[in-house]
Amino acid sequence: MSVKFTNYADTGYRLAEQKAAQYFSSLYGQVKEKTYVTVLTEDIRW
């Protein structure tokens, strides 16, 4: 695997980690407020 492709993979992985962290942070806040059912149900449908 070339360096260029490795860098793209690393960048993509970091972006996916950031997106997941934001999602779980948002979900945690919704669980604390007990407003998660609608959002979580919509996410599961995908």
39 Cβ contact list (under 8 Å, min separation 6):
27, 30
pLDDT tens-digit profile, the chain (46 residues): 555 666 788 888 999 999 999 999 988 988 888 776 776 777 777 6
Question: Could you give the angle at the alpha carbon of 8 between the alpha carbons of 4 and 11, nearest 5°?
Answer: 135
**Rounded distance, CA 17 to CA 34, Å?**
25
Q: H helices within 1-46, ranges in order? A: 3-33, 37-45
Domain ranges of the chain: 3-45
Structure tokens at 27: 């979900």
Structure tokens at 43: 């996410």
pTM of the model: 0.60
pLDDT recorded at residue 14: 92
pLDDT recorded at residue 4: 62
